[in-house]
Amino acid sequence: MITTLHGNDQSVLEINSRPDKCPQCHHAIRAIFRKELGFPADDLAEAIFECPNCGKLFIAYYGRESYSPFYHLTRVEPSRPTAESFGPLDAVSPVGVRIFNQAVAAEAYGLDEIAGIAYRRALEFFIKDFCIALKPTESNLIRAQHKLGIVIETYIDDSKLRKAAKMTAWLGNDETHYERRWESKDISDLKKLLKIVVNSINESLELAAYEQEMMPPKQS
């Protein structure tokens, strides 16, 4: 449905749609137009809207083809990513979770050159905190070991998790080095592997909790 927006300076903008989700609070909304329009180029337009739920202002960006009489919504900014939670891992590695969510935010803001480095750092916290949680008597040795690969090989018993952690570390290291070793892989692959690692860690933590709660019954 085509909508016509009228700016305070008598400017007019015909659009295909208003934003229907706030980029700040992420609620479904009917955005309120604040009467401010901008036209940075012939086929580009900007409009300021307000979220009726959280009251925050944001900019909707529109573009159009040269033959089209109206503009299409392309994006809204600023966008605040939704913080992710990780179940049992939240309590075991709160700093790792915070680093991960900062990596998500960096990626959402277009800071793609530093997001991968943060995902790699989150991996290190996840792995070390997990190993310390399961093997607290080895805490000092795990903390002092600067090579993540050695921690993975030495302190992770589960073969699936060990394999996923090693591959995630490889791709994470690519994000920190001048030349990439795995040229066919990118940050999306890093995130997929990191998700496998997180799921495997949570499974191990949940199983460990049940093992503590459900001791084998004594033989009569």
The one-digit pLDDT tens for each residue of the chain (220 residues) are 688 998 888 889 899 999 999 999 999 999 999 988 998 887 899 999 999 999 999 999 999 987 788 899 999 988 888 888 899 999 999 999 999 999 999 988 888 899 999 999 999 999 999 999 999 999 999 999 999 999 999 999 999 999 999 999 999 999 999 999 999 999 999 999 999 999 999 999 999 889 888 877 776 5
Residues 102 and 59 in one domain: no
Q: Which residues of 53-69 are buried (b: 16+ CB within 10 A; e: fewer)?
A: eeeeebbbbbebeeeee
83 lies in a domain?
no
Q: What is the pLDDT of residue 188?
A: 94
Q: What is the pLDDT of residue 2?
A: 80
The answer to whether the CB of 147 falls within 8 A of the CB of 155 is no
pTM of the predicted model as reported, rounded to 2 decimal places: 0.74
Residues 112 and 161 in one domain: yes
22 lies in a domain?
yes
Where among 42, 77, 112 does a domain terminate? Answer: 77
Residues 92 and 70 in one domain: no
Residues 140 and 189 in one domain: yes
Residues 190 and 151 in one domain: yes
Residues 147 and 203 in one domain: yes
16 lies in a domain?
yes
Residues 9 and 104 in one domain: no
Where among 25, 42, 77 does a domain terminate? Answer: 77
110 lies in a domain?
yes
Residues 114 and 66 in one domain: no
CA–CA distances in Å: residue 42 to residues 75, 76, 145: 18, 19, 57
Where among 46, 77, 108 does a domain terminate? Answer: 77
Residues 43 and 105 in one domain: no
Q: What is the pLDDT of residue 173?
A: 95
Residues 52 and 123 in one domain: no
Residues 197 and 161 in one domain: yes
Q: What is the pLDDT of residue 220?
A: 56
218 lies in a domain?
no
Going by the DSSP 8-state scheme, the letter that residue 82 receives in this structure is P
Q: Whole domain around residue 38: which residue ranges?
A: 3-77
The answer to whether the CB of 161 falls within 8 A of the CB of 131 is no
219 lies in a domain?
no
State the total domains in the chain: 2
Q: What is the pLDDT of residue 194?
A: 97
Q: Report the distance separating Cα 91 and Cα 94, nearest Å.
A: 6
Residues 156 and 108 in one domain: yes
